[in-house]
């Protein structure tokens, strides 16, 4: 669930924190007060488009932060770990986003920086948002198919079908790759042969390039290394002022000091140790210098070998492991092309076998979907009768199609809102108010199967009246038994169903307008419901009506 939402300098919001509760959370307020800013902030946190115009006037950045408490964090943790982010501690997930005046954004999950794509992946698992335009997703046949599969618990069969379809598609692509103009194929064969020969002849070895560079530095600088090594050796042991000579003099003095100062005995031992170290160092430098040889032929070989590595990396792929993989791919492709007649026959047999498995799995999936389609249509129809369609009907139909990634079926939600009307595709007849109620009915049916913890409904009561609002409110309350629900509403008949009620308002301070939010209880909630009933000035009648609405048994 969404536990806390914080917003700073976003539109009219200066600094705002909202603590939501499980179940049904209602948000109300006058038009223009800033209710949509809350939903907009949540949308930003879930990967929505950033726009610098959202930044509050006079500020250089805006931001939002959400704290989610997850009962089952395993799926989210898998996404986080896959993207190098910290897992949720005690099921707590923190998402933060900052938008600056340049229009760019910085995104964080559990304190670690991340990308918009990761935010969207996380958002798809956490929140299902339905705004005035989001209900249009119900008109998409892809979305309708998702609803059908969720209701019928067809997921495992659909996944199996998808895996077989991917295998079948890959085989067909391989088969297609063996077709073409014979002259073009022969040119590809010649190119592959040259490519394989060039890479194999180079005999590239992992780690060799670094060794070549190291040896090249030694050989190219051989004279300098010898001269510097000789100078180091002389400075350590051979010159009159060498370190070894000076240390020997110091050792002699320490020998004279030892009888009169006890600690000098320790100093004398350290000086002896340093003398040994200096002579060992001088010997190592001399030995290394003797192994250095200014060999022009070796230098040229090293440069040619290094140039070969650079050439092949530029020509093929920038990483040696990728060149090795390319060689394996090219060899296999060369074999396929040179033996294309037998390879075609082999692929044809595999394609036929896979197509048989695909059709068998597709028919199994279709049977499950057909059974679910009948039940889903009836279930949504029952829910719609509670939402103002006493004679309405929704049917889910399947039409066989050629194999596609999602199956061998095309789905269509068809709707007849009134008695005497023929049933037609939902997209052809539904108004925005009808669409939102059909969506709510579908969500009510799928409440038990849907694992997304938070559902957000923005103005789901658009274009419906007060009496119908009670039906919508009751349905939201039913859905909230399985999910946390946040609902923005203008209808008091809907608002009274939420045990948690927030009101959004504007105030002017110091010549600036800002949006505030307050959790309502007791008399404050009665006054807000009365305002929604009767306008800005609450009358005694509106207050009495508000109390009656709030006391109605089905709102408890």
Residues 239-272: pLDDT tens digits? 888 898 889 999 899 988 988 988 989 999 999 9
Q: What is the pLDDT of residue 388?
A: 80
Q: How confident is the model at residue 312 (pLDDT cuts 50, 70, 90)?
A: very high
Kindly report the length of the chain.
556
Q: What are phi and psi of 195, to 5 degrees?
A: -65, -45
Over residues 507-512, mean pLDDT:
84
What percent of the chain has pLDDT above 70? 95
Write out the DSSP string of 403-416.
Answer: EETTEEEEEEEEEE
Residue 205's pLDDT is what? 93
Predicted model pTM? 0.65
Of 20-24, 135-139, 195-199, 212-216, give the lowest mean pLDDT range. Answer: 135-139
DSSP for 198-256?
A: HHHHHT--TTHHHHHHHHHHHHHTHHHHHHHHHHHHIIIIISTT-HHHHHHHHHHHHHH
Q: What is the mean pLDDT of the chain?
A: 88
DSSP 453: S
Asked if the model's pLDDT at residue 324 lies above 90, the reply is yes
User: 41 is written with which tokens?
Assistant: 């902030």
Closest CA to 27 of 536, 504, 523: 504
d(CA 192, CA 190): 6
- What domains are there in the chain, each with its CATH number? 1-131+459-522 (3.40.50.300)
Helix pair angle (296-315, 208-220), 10° resolution = 140
Token pair for 396: 């889910």
pLDDT per residue over 292-310, tens digit each?
A: 888 889 899 999 999 999 9
Lookup: tokens for 515: 């949006």
Each residue's pLDDT tens digit, 393-405 = 899 999 999 999 9
Question: How distant, in Å, are the alpha carbons of 6, 106, 396 from that of 45?
Answer: 11, 11, 35
Q: With cut-offs at 50, 70 and 90, classify the pLDDT of residue 341.
A: confident
185 sits in which H/E element = helix 182-202
pLDDT tens-digit series, residues 423-473: 888 777 656 667 777 888 888 888 767 678 898 888 777 667 667 888 889
Percent of the chain with pLDDT over 90: 47
Give the whole-angstrom CA distance, residue 351 versus residue 344.
10
State how beta strands 454-458 and 127-130 pair. Answer: parallel
CA-CA distance, 170 to 521, in Å (whole number)? Answer: 61
């Amino acid at each position: 669930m969404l536990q806390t939402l914080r917003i700073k300098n976003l539109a009219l919001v200066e600094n705002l924190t909202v603590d939501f509760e499980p179940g049904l959370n209602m948000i109300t307020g006058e038009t223009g007060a800033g209710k949509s800013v809350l939903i907009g902030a949540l949308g930003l946190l879930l990967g929505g488009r950033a726009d610098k115009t959202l930044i509050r006037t006079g500020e250089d950045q805006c931001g939002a932060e959400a704290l989610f408490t997850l009962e089952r964090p395993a799926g989210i943790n898998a996404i986080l770990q896959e993207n190098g982010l910290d897992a949720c501690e005690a099921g707590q997930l923190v998402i933060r986003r900052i938008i600056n005046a340049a229009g760019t954004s910085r995104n964080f999950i559990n304190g670690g920086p991340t990308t918009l794509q990761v935010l969207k992946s996380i958002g798809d698992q956490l929140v299902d948002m339905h705004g005035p335009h989001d209900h249009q997703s119900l008109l998409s046949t892809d979305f309708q198919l998702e609803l059908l599969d969720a209701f019928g618990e067809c997921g495992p069969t659909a996944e199996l079908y998808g895996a077989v379809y991917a295998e079948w598609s890959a085989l067909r692509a391989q088969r297609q790759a063996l077709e073409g103009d014979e002259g073009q194929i022969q040119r590809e064969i010649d190119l592959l042969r040259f490519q394989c020969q060039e890479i194999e002849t180079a005999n590239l070895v992992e780690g060799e390039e670094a060794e070549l560079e190291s040896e090249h530095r030694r050989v190219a600088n051989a004279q300098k290394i010898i001269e510097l090594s000789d100078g180091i050796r002389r400075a350590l042991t051979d010159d009159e002022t060498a370190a070894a000579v000076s240390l020997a003099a110091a050792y002699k003095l320490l020998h004279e000091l030892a009888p009169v100062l006890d600690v000098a005995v320790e100093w004398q031992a350290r000086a002896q140790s340093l003398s040994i170290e200096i002579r060992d160092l001088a010997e190592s430098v001399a030995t290394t210098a003797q192994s250095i040889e200014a060999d022009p032929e070796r230098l040229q070989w090293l440069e040619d070998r290094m140039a070969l590595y650079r050439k092949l990396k530029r020509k093929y792929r920038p990483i040696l492991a990728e060149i090795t993989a390319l060689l394996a791919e090219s060899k296999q492709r060369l074999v396929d092309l040179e033996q294309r007649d037998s390879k075609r026959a082999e692929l044809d047999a595999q394609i036929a076998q896979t197509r048989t498995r695909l059709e068998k799995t597709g028919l199994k999936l279709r049977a499950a979907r057909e059974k679910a389609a009948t039940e889903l249509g009836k279930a949504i129809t029952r829910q719609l009768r509670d939402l103002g369609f006493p004679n309405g009907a929704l049917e889910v139909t399947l039409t066989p199609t050629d194999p596609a990634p999602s199956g061998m079926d095309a789905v269509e939600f068809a709707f007849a809102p009134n008695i005497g009307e023929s049933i037609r595709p939902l997209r052809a007849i539904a108004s925005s108010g009808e669409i939102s109620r059909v969506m709510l009915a579908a969500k009510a049916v799928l409440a038990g199967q849907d694992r997304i913890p938070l559902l957000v409904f923005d103005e789901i009561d658009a274009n419906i009246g007060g009496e119908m609002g009670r039906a919508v409110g009751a349905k939201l309350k039913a859905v909230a038994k399985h999910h946390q629900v946040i609902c923005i509403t203008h209808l008091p008949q809907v608002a009274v169903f939420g045990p948690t009620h927030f009101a959004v308002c504007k105030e002017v301070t110091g010549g600036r307008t800002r949006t505030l939010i307050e959790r309502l209880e007791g008399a404050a909630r009665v006054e807000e419901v009365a305002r929604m009933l009767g306008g800005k000035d609450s009358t005694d009648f509106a207050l009495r009506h508000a109390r009656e609405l709030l006391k109605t048994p089905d709102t408890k």
